[in-house]
Amino acid sequence: MGIHVKNVDPRVKRTRQLLQQAFMELFQENGFSAITVQDIAERATVNRATFYAHFDDKYALMDSLMREQFQNAIMSTLPLPAILRASTLRALIEAVFDYLAQVNGHCKPSDKQFDPFLEKAVQQELSNILLTWLQQGKTSDRGQHVPVEITAEVMSWAIFGVAIQWSRGERSVPTEQMVNFVLAVLTAGAAGVTPGLLPE
């Protein structure tokens, strides 16, 4: 699916989890701009050198946390094995809508400063998932007219762009209907670029 679980030393994993948990607590208490590396290290009961052994700065920590949360949300939703089919693409689109609705439902207006970081993390992870699927399904007789990397980027931005706008708005159109709209556009587009790309 494009999400890989790495073999990480349990102590390293535990320290990262402590730092991420400390960051989340401080974020909820004070907002992002007020958080310092020192605050995070103290809350996690580690020193600054330990923090910097894991993350370059608080932005890198936030990026890793958002990517992990998004990956977990996707993994808990997609059917296995996850390959590129209309049904899995629908599940992926729906998971993105649900994740962004949840994130934007918990954010205060003062938290909006980290929106660009959220957008980068989610869109890149989404693109990686789609690229993996496209590469798995690529065969020489499919008549690929557009490189899979470009196809993955276009699809990921289409999904993410609509989902982020919907999640920040009134949400007057139900999630299921929005998912159907996005799926219809992507399916029609994919058929024109690569016939047979999205089997049922």
Q: Quick one: what percent of the chain has pLDDT higher than 70? A: 82
* Amino acid type, 152: A
Which range has the worst mean pLDDT, 11-15, 101-105, 107-111, 160-164?
Answer: 107-111
Quick one: pLDDT at residue 1?
Answer: 43
Helices (H) and strands (E) in the chain, counts: 8, 0
d(CA 168, CA 170): 7
Q: How far is CA 23 from the centre of its chain?
A: 19
pLDDT tens digits for range 63-93: 999 899 899 988 888 876 678 888 899 999 9
Q: Mean of the pLDDT values across residues 18-30?
A: 92
Q: Mean of the pLDDT values across residues 27-54?
A: 93
Q: How far is CA 26 from the centre of its chain?
A: 22
- The CB-side HSE value for 139 (13 A sphere, CA atoms) comes to 6
Length of the chain: 200
Cis geometry, peptide bond prior to residue 79 (ω within 30 degrees of 0): no
Quick one: pLDDT at residue 32?
Answer: 84
Q: Cβ distance 134 to 2 under 8 Å?
A: no
Q: What is the pTM of this model?
A: 0.79
Cis geometry, peptide bond prior to residue 199 (ω within 30 degrees of 0): no
